[in-house]
Amino acid sequence: MNGQLFIVPTPIGNLEDITLRAVNVLKNADLILAEDTRTSSFLLKHLQIEKPLKSYHQHNEHKILEEIIALLNSGKNIALVSDAGTPGISDPGFLLIREAIAHDVSVISLPGATAFVPALVNSGLPCNEFSFYGFLPQKKGRQTKLKLLAQEEKTFVLYESPFRLVKLLQELKDYLGAERKAAVSRELTKLFEETKRGTLEELITFYASKTVKGEIVVVVQGSE
C-alpha cells in the first residue's frame, strides 16, 4: 500500500500560525522533506518534534524525485515543507506533487500560512477576484509579463526581493501609470510588520530613501 504525501504550510513569521493539524502530521510523518533543513530544524525544535529530515529544494528536486516516489510507494508517509508558507506557491513542490499523482500516491494539501492572502486582504483593493503572478522573470520574458500586467483587469499580486522593490515599482509605474493604486506588505506576521498603501508614484517616493528588509508582497489595482 502506498504512503501519503502531505503538503504542510509553515509559519511565514509568527510561529503561533502553525495549525494543530500541521503539528500532528509532522509528528506522524516517517520523513520530512525540507527546503532548508536548518530552517525546518528550528521550527521542529520549537514544536518538540524529532523526525528524519531530507533536503528538497529547486537545485536537487529533479535528482531525488525518483527516490522520494520509491519511498512513498513503499508505504512511507512523507511531509513536505518549505522555509515559510505553502509549498508549491513560489516554492519547491510542484514537480513532486505532479509525480506523486502520476504514481497514484495520495496527496493531501493542508490549509495554512501563505504570504499573499493577508497582503491581498489588507491592501484595501478589491479581492473578490484577483490574479497571482509570484516573482516576475528577472530577464527573459520580463517585459512581456509587464505588458500583460498593464492589461490585467483584476487586482494582482507579486512577490519581490527587498533589494529589487524600487526597481519593480518603477517598472510598474512605467507600464501601468503613476496613479495606479498599490500596497506593499513586508515582514508579515512579524514584529515589524508593515503595509504601505498609495499610488505607485507615492510608493516609489516612500521606499526610494529607505533600506527595505524582509519578504515583500506587492498588491496592485487592476486596470479599469
**Burial of residue 151 (number of CB atoms within 10 Å: 0-12, 13-18, 19+):** exposed
Query: Which of 109, 126, 146 is a domain's end point?
Result: 109
Q: Show the domain range for 11.
A: 4-109
Grid coordinates 536548518 are at which residue?
Answer: 38
Q: Average of pLDDT values for 113-126?
A: 96
What's the CA gap between 222 and 156, in Å, rounded? 7
What's the CA gap between 216 and 182, in Å, rounded? 13
Query: Which of 109, 130, 149 is a domain's end point?
Result: 109
Q: The domain that contains 102 carries what CATH number?
A: 3.40.1010.10
Q: Do residues 49 and 98 share a domain?
A: yes
Query: Which of 56, 91, 109 is a domain's end point?
Result: 109
Tens of pLDDT, residues 123-153: 999 999 999 999 999 989 999 999 999 999 9
Q: Average of pLDDT values for 30-37?
A: 97
pLDDT at 1 > cutoff 90: no
Total domains, the chain: 2
Q: The domain that contains 153 carries what CATH number?
A: 3.30.950.10
pLDDT-based confidence at residue 224 (cuts at 50, 70, 90): confident
Q: Do residues 96 and 157 share a domain?
A: no
Average pLDDT, the chain: 96
